[in-house]
Amino acid sequence: MRSNEVKKGFNRAPHRSLFRATGLKDEDFDKPFIGVANSFIEVIPGHFFLDEVSKIIKDEIRKNDCVPFEFNTIGVDDGIAMGHDGMLYSLPSRELIANSVETVMNAHKFDAMIAVPNCDKIVPGMIMGALRVDVPTVFVSGGPMKAGHLKDGTPIDLASAFEAVGQYEKGNIDDEKLHEIECNACPGGGSCSGMFTANSMNTLMEAMGIALPGNGTILALTPQREELFRKAARRICEIAKDELQSEKFKLRNILNEKAVKNAFAVDMAMGGSSNTVLHMLAIAKEAGVDFDLSKINEISKNVAHIAKISPSLSTVHMEDINRAGGVNAVMHEMNKRGEGVLFTDNLTVTGETLGDRIKDAKILDEQIIHPIDKPYSPVGGLAILYGNLAREGAVIKTAGITGERAFTGKAVCFDGQPEAIEGIIDGKVQAGDVVVIRYEGPKGGPGMQEMLSPTSLIMGMGLGDKVALITDGRFSGATRGASIGHVSPEAAEGGMIGLLQDGDEIHIDVDNYILEVNLSDEEITKRKAAFVPKKKPLSSRWLGQYRALVTNASNGAMLRSDME
């Protein structure tokens, strides 16, 4: 066992003495040590109950003759951090989480890990850290929140609350209606109920084979979810107690190139958050997988979009997907398109191949998960755009487009999200415009803020199908509309988005993967010669360190190290 390094031999008597201080007995030193990576934090709806979840998991680990050691990571609630400088800390928190998992697991030589994430950057951060450690790991998330409902029964969620702000600004709803939406959008614990970033990542863990079936869709705080926690705990003990299984189920043996491609394919079929691109690029690099951004379009062409979930012009939520057959049903239906859509021979943490896992799955409600011959779109729900405005790529959630898939308009430029919010409210954006929000990339922000506030204002003010928005920042999974993010190179590194001026004509063609500004090469050269990127003043040492080390979005916004 890996843990023998800290618990066996006469020279480890001091180490055992310290373990005994935590309650261990003689018999415990012959058992596997299981790290329980918990993301309990009271400020996040998807996490405030995870202290009770870890008690369930640790109880099951002890029953199965292993020794659990719980440790915690930090977390940022993107919704609460949204629209102010707190959002600068969201994406950087992913790196802190990855580093903390690596630190605790390697410092104490635990044999295996069960990871309990749920929301936002916490899921990819834990996956990245676990890949560095590369011991057997089972992921089991806290579970999605129920959808909220208005008095008339209309389903709502967090996106409804953000868009209500724009409706209120426009005078389309009053104080009473705003308050009703506020009080009902998030009815209880769990990751926000639509296909936002948290639930996108929680479903992709099923596709990667690193979580059990139901991880992305079984509601939080239910008996069914508790049984999933116990099942996950039993499984990690089965692996950890068997030397051959411990070697076979090291995380990198499961989360490999096939798993990465499977994750992107399922993302396409379910219209996941554009943030998944950023996180999966980083996960791929941690897994040692060479995955270029352009491959996403190749995957998209082979995958039909068969599940449309809020906020993509839909009142469908994760509980509906669960009732309709879950992620397994989605994957089973996807696979009917033929070879190459999914790598069904890839191993999963439960011991079977992905193909074996999904072979008996079926759609239980074709209004929720469409049959492969009746898709919402014959291609996937994400696309990567290229052109002189995004030489290294930009990301659009095509599943969330509310207007035309080709758009040409005049640029209205804002140097940062606060300026954009003020300008949108003041009426500077009109039908036919392309909103440009720059200096919000990983380096420029720093921290690559989500743009849910401006996109929600645009939707709430009735401009969602009449304008487009481009940014070197990113979007919440709750964003919808013609919203293009992750523009790379970003403004802070001299990217073309920083050279744009009000009135420049921008052309977007999603189906042909184009994002460009209609300027001559001579004009672009002239602007570049005079361009000096802005650098925001900072008072935070952590954000200063992050800005100095972070790569752009096309590289997953990972931190550089001297290993590279």
Phi, psi of 385 (to 5 degrees): -105, 145
SS3 230: helix
Residue 526 tokens read as 């002239």
Alpha-carbon distance values, 92 to 74, 180, 438 (Å): 11, 34, 18
CB contact at 8 A, 108 and 24:
no
Phi, psi of 235 (to 5 degrees): -65, -40
Instruction: Please say whether the dihedral angle defined by the alpha carbons of residues 387, 390, 392 and 398, taken in this order, is positive or negative.
Output: negative
Whole-angstrom distance, CA of residue 38 vs CA of residue 250? 20
Residue 461 makes CB contacts below 8 A (sequence gap 6+) with 166, 167, 169, 170, 424
CB contact at 8 A, 296 and 278:
no
Active-site residue flag, 476: yes
Contacts 24+ apart (CB under 8 A), 543-549: 543/88, 543/89, 543/92, 543/446, 543/447, 546/92, 546/95, 546/442, 546/446, 546/447, 547/443, 547/446
Name the strand (E) or helix (H) holding 55.
helix 50-63
Nearest residue to 270 (alpha-carbon basis) of 303, 319, 299, 301 = 303
Residue 79 makes CB contacts below 8 A (sequence gap 6+) with 158, 192, 452, 476
- Cis, bond preceding 14 (omega within 30 deg of 0): no
Alpha-carbon distance values, 351 to 126, 201, 235, 249, 330 (Å): 22, 21, 9, 8, 20
Residue 131 tokens read as 């890949």
DSSP characters for 506-544? Answer: EEEEGGGTEEEE---HHHHHHHHHH----------HHHH
Helix, strand, coil share of the chain (percent; to 5): 45, 15, 40
Choosing from 476, 483, 488, 554, which is the catalytic residue?
476
SS3 409: strand
Phi and psi based region of residue 449 (left: phi greater than 0; alpha: psi -120 to 50; beta: remaining) = beta
Rg of the chain, C-alpha, whole Å:
23
- The residues annotated with a catalytic role in the active site are 476
